[in-house]
Chains A and B, each alone.
Chain A
Amino acid sequence: MSAHYPVIVIGGGITGIGILRDLSMRGVKALLVEQKDLCTGTSSHFHGLLHSGARYAVSDIEAAEECYKENLILKEIAPHAIERTEGFFISIDEDDPAYVDRWVAGCSKARIPTEQVDIKTALTLEPNLADSIRAVYRVPDSAVDGFRLIWQNAYSAQSYGGAFRTYAAVTAIHSENGAVKGVEITNILTGEVEQIGCDYLVNAAGSWVASVARLADIPVGVAPDRGLLIAFNHRFTERVINRLHPSGDADIFVPHGAITILGTTSVKVDDPADTTVSSKEALYMLDIGEKLIPELKSYRILRGFAGTRPLFSSGGGRSATRNFVVADHEKDGLKGFISIAGGKLTTYRLMAEKTTDLVCKKMGITEKCRTHIEPLVKKIDKKIYKKALAFFPKLGVDLSISRQGDNFHNVLERILADHKKCALLCECELVTRAEFEEVLSRSGNYPIEHLELTLGTLSDVRRRTRIGMGTCQGNFCAYRGVGAIAETKGAPDTELSAILNKFIEERWNGIRPVLWGVQLKEAELSRGIYQTLLNSAGEPYEERS
């Protein structure tokens, strides 16, 4: 065993990171391992809705109550990851009017505040809604960004001594005398294998919980359930818009920074990594979404993407409980192994608290949870903010702070040292060269010499900054990004081409299934820049003397 940690957490999604932060805040030394980069699974492949709980008010009152409580807590501790948009629940002609009463009763039972809004007011507030809507209720829904939430948790955990390793897949679980001894970690980029010891192992792998538990021959009933999301180029509602009916497909719109996300569908899949997106499914969603937003099909789609819900149930699908279960596998014969299954992003903090409570109880640690009172990001110094305003538009400062949190002052320092670094590397999401370099210096703990190690680099930066996630989908920031990598890290050309191609290919994956309208023009521009101008496909050419 090359190292030993009291606790190892498996899974770099919001649950795992939440647990890492909670453990670290309670003084427990812990290491988190993630098979890819942080926030590559369901935590970034969902609609970005911070539930008020109203969606579960009829089907699952317990989940509804939990959601509302956590909604209130997260708005306080994670203001930089959340937009307090509020939400509308809207009933249309084809919806069962009787359901409205049941829903209102459910909300009041779960103590979720609702307020009926008259149609005229609703249409003034949300002019893109269909005129034919029949009833509108206001709820405290909000929009939450999974990326920001994870990175703010991760940086906060780091400041408390928590550690995480990415591209480190758990390939074996070691035990001795019925107790966990450690894990085997395989670096998925290099193939290097490492043994790390631990006393407690927390399986927070989300949709992958069952496959991780299988390494210890323990069955856990988590069934991945795929949902498709569509990201639109602009924000056409100010609020979260839900259909007021029993939860169904394509009935949630979440405005999110500069974009809007429409979700979702529900398809049972065997492989948690099955995030296939089909044009047919996308068109099916637009057909439904159009009933609330009549001009929906005229809006430009940026991309389609899918994630898998980690549903804890034997049945699965939308009827499954959205509650979570903390399973102590001591009863299954493996001491020190704990799995957390089910749940949803809105309740991640509570899930982390309950799991950490159990770990601490076993370790005999009495420190109480503080994640419900301590904000993820410390208050940004007013002086820093003021200084930054000289270099960015106000909007750019706010966005950069929300992305980089406590590290924002490093971004500013880079600009103060070299004013040119305030140039926008990504113009669609307003990311400066300084922010890019700051993130680059923190991501990929890997030396650039190994080609295969660097392939993830641009996408790693993307998840921390949103480069490549706006209108141009990487057309301009990708080549600027590799330019910045070349200058700061000094990588050889062949590696840079590989980084560039990998990034562009990833962007294309989400564009292909929705390749029509203006997005098709954008794709042609991309083809012109990368395949023609930069010959990214590597067509051979003859040098002429």
Chain B
Amino acid sequence: MSKQTPDNCTACTTCTAYCPISKATRNFRGPKMTGPAFERFRYLHKGEEDALSYCSNCKNCDIACPNGVPISVFNMLAKAETSQGLRLFARDYIVAHGDLFYSFLRYFPSFLVNFGMLNPLTRIFLDRIGVARRAALPAFCDKPFLKRLNAVKQPQTDEKVIFFPGCYVNMYDPEAGLALVKLLNRLNVEVVAPEGLVCCGVPLISSGFYKECKKNAEKNLKILSKYRGAPIITVCPSCALMIKHDYAELFPEIAAKDIKIVDPSEFILEHQNLKNLEFEEESRKLSYHSPCHQRALGIGKPALELMKLLPSTAVCDLDAGCCGISGSYGFKKEKYRISLSVGKNLFDSLKAADTELALTECGTCKVQITANTRIKTVHPLSLLAERLI
């Protein structure tokens, strides 16, 4: 696969009409301009414009494009060429390298780390370097997913899936990963989590760390391609999208074939032992938010189908657009307000639906929704595992 050209863009501007950031701020010129339109001029090497940093990589442009132009990929590749100065570099480095910080913070008890990270003094300091003081940051978990997986006694079977935990599950929300393990084990499937997998790279590329992102891609693809043929499952839609689509578009030179990323909901729904799964009723009022990167996968909303396994339980599909957080975008001080304005429609819809429990696959969507609606939000698999009889 050779470098993508902007040739498929017909300048129809559908992407800009669907871009949540363009609606929220005039500072962003819209995906058509920063993507394919500027791409034509990038060959002139005249430098990049600052407005590019407003792209949140939510990929609604890619979803909307009728011609299959990889708009967000143009933006991400161009971001790698920009520089926002030292102060914002430090900030971007911090928000893009959660995994790195966790790798040494994990030796401390999580309550201490979280106190250290989330107390008002730290927040004032973080605010000074550009992390919005009011933005809700996720809290580290007590024990990372991988450690907890080792403690799970799994059935020894021939059917194995490869699990890609991703940073969010490993550092903040091991429950979602363990929920998948519980469900798959009941289907008589063993979950294997290979050693050495690193961050998929979404936060890196979104903040312009192209080289590091590529290194991570290389490491992950090297490990994953060892398990050729076996389905690879992740419960994070952003990790899935990155491995399934973006690696090949961002780094065509290292693209690996034969890597089979399967959506967990689809995997469960299509499994021959599906009848093994029995659930009890859920009485709370449920609403489902489909994360942008889940929609960008182009496989519909399999989680909604999966929730139908809960007996006599209705789930409201919000269909209210982007939550605004886009990974680490909403943590950034100059983007914080934009992020809230983008998510407003979703927050209002959730409240209007009288929701008691919100469901969504994406980790940072969860943080954003809970922080702005006070409604508890979990991964759909977490709820299913909880209701498993």
Q: A residues engaging B (CB < 8 A)?
A: 83, 127, 233-236, 238, 255, 257-259, 295, 299-300, 393-395, 398-399, 424, 427-428, 430, 470-472, 475-476, 518, 521-522, 525
Contacts and interface: CB of A to CB of B under 8 A. Distances in A.
B91 interface: no
A262 to B, nearest CB: 15
Contacts of A234: 5-7, 39-40, 43
Contact of B10 (A299, A399, A521): A521
Main secondary structure of the interface of B (DSSP, over half): loop
Contacts of B51: 393
A395 B47 contact: yes
A203 B67 CA distance: 50
A521 B7 CA distance: 11
Given A235-B40, A522-B11, 6 more contacts: A257-B41, A258-B43, A393-B49, A393-B51, A428-B37, A472-B11
B43 A427 contact: no
26 contacts: A83-B44, A127-B3, A233-B6, A233-B7, A255-B43, A257-B41, A258-B40, A259-B40, A295-B2, A393-B38, A395-B38, A395-B46, A398-B46, A427-B33, A427-B37, A428-B11, A428-B40, A471-B36, A471-B40, A472-B10, A472-B11, A476-B13, A518-B67, A522-B10, A522-B11, A525-B10
A385 to B, nearest CB: 13
B41 A395 contact: yes
Contacts of B12: 525
A424 B5 CA distance: 23
B10 A518 contact: yes
A521 B67 CA distance: 9
A395 B67 CA distance: 26
A394 B49 contact: yes
Ranked 9 nearest A-B pairs via Cβ? A393-B49, A300-B7, A258-B40, A472-B11, A235-B43, A522-B10, A395-B46, A471-B11, A234-B40
Contacts of B49: 393-395
Contacts of B182: none
A259 B46 CA distance: 15
A395 B36 CA distance: 15
Contacts, number: 79
Interface of B: 2-3, 5-13, 29, 32-33, 36-41, 43-44, 46-47, 49, 51, 67
Interface centre among B13, B40, B49, B51 (most CB of A within 10 A): B40
A233 B40 contact: yes
A299 B3 CA distance: 12
Contacts of B29: 393
B32 A238 contact: no
Contacts of A472: 10-11
A123 to B, nearest CB: 13
Given A394-B46, A394-B49, A518-B67, A476 B11 contact: yes
Contacts of B2: 295
A399 B46 CA distance: 10
B309 to A, nearest CB: 43
B279 to A, nearest CB: 48
A83 B45 CA distance: 12
Nearest to A395: B46
B58 to A, nearest CB: 21
B11 A235 contact: no
A421 to B, nearest CB: 15
Contacts of B47: 394-395
A369 B297 CA distance: 66
B51 to A, nearest CB: 7
Contacts of A398: 46
A394 to B, nearest CB: 5
A425 to B, nearest CB: 13
A394 B10 CA distance: 24
Nearest to A85: B44
Contacts of B6: 233-234, 471
Contacts of B3: 127
Contacts of B32: 427
A518 B46 contact: no
Nearest to B36: A471
Contact of A299 (B5, B13, B33, B41): B5
B45 to A, nearest CB: 9
A438 to B, nearest CB: 21
Contacts of A233: 5-7, 40
Contacts of A300: 5, 7-8
Given A518-B10, A521-B67, A395 B40 contact: no
Contacts of B44: 83, 235, 257-258, 395
Specify which of A234, A259, A470 lies most central, judged by the most chain B CB atoms within 10 Å of its CB.
A234
Nearest to A260: B43
Nearest to A295: B2
B37 A236 contact: no
A162 B44 CA distance: 34
Nearest to A476: B11
A258 B41 contact: yes
Contact of B7 (A255, A394, A399, A518): A518
B41 to A, nearest CB: 5
B387 to A, nearest CB: 49
Contacts of B39: 234
B54 to A, nearest CB: 13
Contacts of B13: 476
Nearest to A393: B49
A238 B7 CA distance: 17
A535 B123 CA distance: 58
A300 B7 CA distance: 6
Contacts of A521: 10, 67
Nearest to B5: A234
Contact of B9 (A255, A471, A476): A471
Contacts of A522: 10-11
B79 to A, nearest CB: 14
Contacts of B43: 234-235, 238, 255, 258
Contacts of B38: 393, 395
A475 B12 CA distance: 9
Contacts of A235: 40, 43-44
Nearest to B39: A234
A430 B32 CA distance: 12
Nearest to A255: B43
Nearest to B3: A127
Contacts of A295: 2
A186 to B, nearest CB: 40
